[in-house]
Amino acid sequence: MDLTTLQASVAASEPRLVNRLRELVEVESPSDNKASVDRASALVTTWAAELGATIKRHKQKHFGDVLELKFGPPRSKHPRILLLGHLDTVWPLGTLANMPFRAASGKLRGPGILDMKSGVVMALEAISALAATGNLDRPITLLLNSDEEIGSPVSRPITEKIAQTCSAVFVLEPAQGLAYKTARKGIGNYQVTVEGIAAHSGVDFDRGHSAILEMSRLVQTISAFTARTPGLTVNVGTIHGGTQSNVVAAHCTAAVDVRILRATDAGKIDRLFRALKLTDKACKLTITGGINRPPMERKPGTVALFKQARKLAAQLGFTLEEASTGGGSDGNFTAALGIPTLDGMGSIGAGAHATHEHIDPTHLIPRTTLLAALLATVD
Ligand SMILES: [Zn+2]
C-alpha cells in the first residue's frame, strides 16, 4: 500500500467529505425520533450504495433502524474489520435553527458534527479511498446504530453478534484531544430508595422516621466507595425526597453513577451496594441497578492496533497520542468480548453534547487517511 497515493486520494475527496458532513448534520437525528434517525440512515445508505455496499437494515420499532453496510470482497485472506458508529445525536429536533451547520474561525459547527456525524463521513471516505487506489481487498462492515446516546438498548446485541465475526473493531467516536482511545471505564447505575415513616413535624415528631436523614447517611457511605478501588468513581447525581418542610419524609430516592476501570471491579462494587445498611431500623432500603456497560480494558490486542496506528501516523507526518477516558461507547461492548478495539478514530474537536460542539477540519484528511491506512494493513 502506497501511503502517498492513499493520502492524495483522500485529499482529493475533501470537498465531497465536507459537503456530505453538511448534508448529514442538516438531517437532525435525535435518538428518540425514529423517523428522523431513519432519514439520516437513508442518506448514508445512498452514499454506501455508490461504493457497492451490501446494505442490511436491522428494523426497529421504537428507534431508528440499525444499518449494517458491508464493503469489499465477501471473502479474502484478511479477516473482516468492523467500523462502529452511531447516527443518533443528543440534540432535539429544531436545534439547527439556533445552531446551524457553519464554518467560522477555522471550525465547523453543528449539532452532532463531532459526536459523531464526521466519524461516519470519514469512514465512508476512507473506504472510498481504498477502493479508488485498489486497496479494498478485505471485507469491512460499517455498523451504524440509532440508539448509542441512550445506552444502545436495541443495538447492543446486533453489535456484539457482528463484532464476533471480526478480528478488530474501529470506533468512530471523537478523538480525545489528539489521541486515539485504548481504554474506557465501565458504567453502572444504581437507584437507592429509602422508605421512612411520615409524621407531623410538630405534633408527632417522635413517631416519624426520616427517609431523608437516612439517605444523607447513605450518601456519605456510598461516596466513600470512590476511594476504595483505583479508577473507581461513584457519583450520587440526584436525590429526590420529602413532600413539605413540616412533614418527616417518608420517601427518598437517589440515582448513582458508577465508573469502573477493571471488569473485576463490577462484582466488588455490587457487593458494596448490596451490603449497605440503614442506621434507623424503622426505615426500609431498596437497591436496584448494576454495572450495565463493561469497561474497555487496555488489552494487548488493542495496544498492538494502537502501535500500528502510531507508526502509520508517523509516516503520514503526525504524532498519534494514546488516551483513556471515563466515558463509555459501544467499544466497551466489543472490547469486553475480547475483540481488539481501538476507539476515538473519528474527528478532532470539542464540545460534544454542548452548544459549542465543533470539529477542527484541518485534521479531517490526515485522520481519514490514517483510518484508511489501518484498514489496509491490519491483520
Ligand atoms: Zn458518540
Residue 167 Cα to ligand 1 midpoint, Å, equals 22
Residue 176 Cα to ligand 1 midpoint, Å, equals 12
Q: How far apart are CA 85 and CA 226, in angstroms?
A: 31
Q: Are 73 and 155 in contact (CB under 8 A)?
A: no
Residue 229: pLDDT band with limits 50, 70, 90: confident
Mean pLDDT for 193-213 is: 98
170: Cβ contacts below 8 Å, ≥ 6 apart: 81, 82, 83, 84, 341, 342, 345, 371, 374, 375
Mean pLDDT for 106-111 is: 98
Mean pLDDT for 131-142 is: 97
Helix, strand, coil percentages, rounded to 5, for the chain? 40, 25, 35
Residues in the chain: 379
Identity at 267, one-letter amino acid code: G
Residue 115 Cα to ligand 1 midpoint, Å, equals 4
Instruction: Give the pLDDT score at 377.
Output: 95
Residue 28: pLDDT band with limits 50, 70, 90: very high
Residue 24 Cα to ligand 1 midpoint, Å, equals 15
Residue 77 Cα to ligand 1 midpoint, Å, equals 32
Residue 192 Cα to ligand 1 midpoint, Å, equals 28
Residue 136 Cα to ligand 1 midpoint, Å, equals 26
Residue 268 Cα to ligand 1 midpoint, Å, equals 28
106: which 3 cell numbers? 477555522
Instruction: Give the pLDDT score at 113.
Output: 98
Residue 185 Cα to ligand 1 midpoint, Å, equals 15
Residue 225: pLDDT band with limits 50, 70, 90: very high
Residue 173 Cα to ligand 1 midpoint, Å, equals 5
Q: How far apart are CA 245 and CA 242, in angstroms?
A: 8
Residue 334 Cα to ligand 1 midpoint, Å, equals 15
At residue 357's C-alpha, the angle toward residues 60 and 105, to 5°, is: 140
User: What phi and psi values does residue 84 have, to the nearest 5 degrees?
Assistant: -120, 130
Residue 214 Cα to ligand 1 midpoint, Å, equals 38
Residue 259 Cα to ligand 1 midpoint, Å, equals 18
Beta bridge partners of 104: 107
Identity at 270, one-letter amino acid code: D
Residue 163 Cα to ligand 1 midpoint, Å, equals 18
User: What letters, b where the CB count within 10 A reaches 16 and e where it falls short, cover 175-195?
Assistant: bbebbbbbbbbbbbbbebbbb
Residue 113 Cα to ligand 1 midpoint, Å, equals 10
Residue 179: pLDDT band with limits 50, 70, 90: very high
Mean pLDDT for 296-320 is: 98
Residue 329 Cα to ligand 1 midpoint, Å, equals 7
Residue 86 Cα to ligand 1 midpoint, Å, equals 7
Residue 288 Cα to ligand 1 midpoint, Å, equals 27
User: What is the CB neighbour count within 10 angstroms for residue 64?
Assistant: 30
Query: What does the DSSP 8-state code read for residue 58?
Result: E
Instruction: Give the pLDDT score at 379.
Output: 81
Coil, helix or strand at residue 101? coil
Instruction: Give the pLDDT score at 341.
Output: 98
Residue 1: pLDDT band with limits 50, 70, 90: confident
Mean pLDDT for 64-85 is: 96
Instruction: Give the pLDDT score at 228.
Output: 80
| pTM, 2 dp | 0.92
Residue 76 Cα to ligand 1 midpoint, Å, equals 31
Q: How far apart are CA 247 and CA 250, in angstroms?
A: 8
Mean pLDDT for 91-104 is: 97
Residue 187: pLDDT band with limits 50, 70, 90: very high
Residue 75: pLDDT band with limits 50, 70, 90: confident
Q: What is the pLDDT of residues 255-307, one digit of tens each?
A: 999 999 999 999 999 999 999 999 999 999 999 999 999 999 999 999 999 99
365: which 3 cell numbers? 484528511
Mean model confidence pLDDT for the chain: 97
Residue 93: closest CA among 155, 147, 151, 26: 26
Query: What does the DSSP 8-state code read for residue 368?
Result: H
Residue 116 Cα to ligand 1 midpoint, Å, equals 5
Q: What is the pLDDT of residues 344-360, one digit of tens each?
A: 999 999 999 999 999 99
271: Cβ contacts below 8 Å, ≥ 6 apart: none
Instruction: Give the pLDDT score at 15.
Output: 98
Question: Cα–Cα distances in Å, from 156 out to 143, 243, 332?
Answer: 11, 39, 10
Residue 94: pLDDT band with limits 50, 70, 90: very high
Q: Is the pLDDT of residue 227 over 90?
A: no
Residue 98 Cα to ligand 1 midpoint, Å, equals 21
Residue 197 Cα to ligand 1 midpoint, Å, equals 44
Helices assigned H by DSSP within 156-299:
156-163, 211-223, 265-274
Mean pLDDT for 111-122 is: 98
User: What is the CB neighbour count within 10 angstroms for residue 36?
Assistant: 21
